[in-house]
A = this chain, B = another copy of it.
Amino acid sequence: MNKAELVEALTARLGDKKAATAALDAVLQEIQNAVTKGDRVAITGFGVFEKRVRAARTARNPRTGEAVKVKKTSVPAFRPGAGFRELVAAGKVPKAAAAKKTAAAKKTAAAAPAKTTARSTAAKSTAAKSTATKATATKATATKAATKTATKAATKTAPARKTAAKTTRAASSAPAKRATTARATTAAAAPAKATTTRSRAAATKTTRAAKKA
């Protein structure tokens, strides 16, 4: 399906061809602008368009095999939302969807046994405020911000895995639901390994933090 066909399809929904063209164009333009400015365009159920920064690296010319230096750059990226994903995974449109009758049809997937009950436990009880992990409480909603910060800072409560090799890991807690354990909040995990594997986590984190500001 090319642009022309898409416009045609839109015309069927909107009624007017010119309007359809304009609409499509407008949408695309807006998304491009936003992403270019570094904004994240999040459309629930569809997906998220975002600017992704790619660090400088040494790629390789597949033809000659020689290494080439690729300097830092930014590229637009799209991450499909849950709805879109499972729609495509299903392979076929639910039933309608082509029609403007809405319906949507909510089928989701498996039912949740009985997890919700034992919601947040360890987190709350353990720490209360602590000194914030570093860049967390930035804009702090003031209200109940404390709670969340606590959760994140609670880290050291349950070591679980983290730096520990594959051995300790399994033992620390049963697969399915590892007891209380609050997942390691990076900050604590960082100091150890680092360079060895491939510091991806660090980079990612930085980006995220920046965006929040």
Contact = CB atoms under 8 A, between A and B. Distances in A.
Interface of A: 1-3, 6, 9-10, 13-14, 19-20, 22-24, 26-44, 46-47, 51, 61, 63-66, 73-78, 80, 84-85, 87-93, 97-98, 161, 166, 169-170, 175, 178, 183
Contact of A91 (B43, B64, B74): B74
A74 B28 CA distance: 25
A178 B169 CA distance: 51
A165 to B, nearest CB: 9
B89 A74 contact: yes
Contact of A6 (B13, B19, B41, B93): B41
A203 to B, nearest CB: 17
A65 to B, nearest CB: 5
Given A75-B89, A178-B63, A97 B2 contact: no
Given A3-B42, A13-B26, A27-B23, A36 B166 contact: no
A154 to B, nearest CB: 17
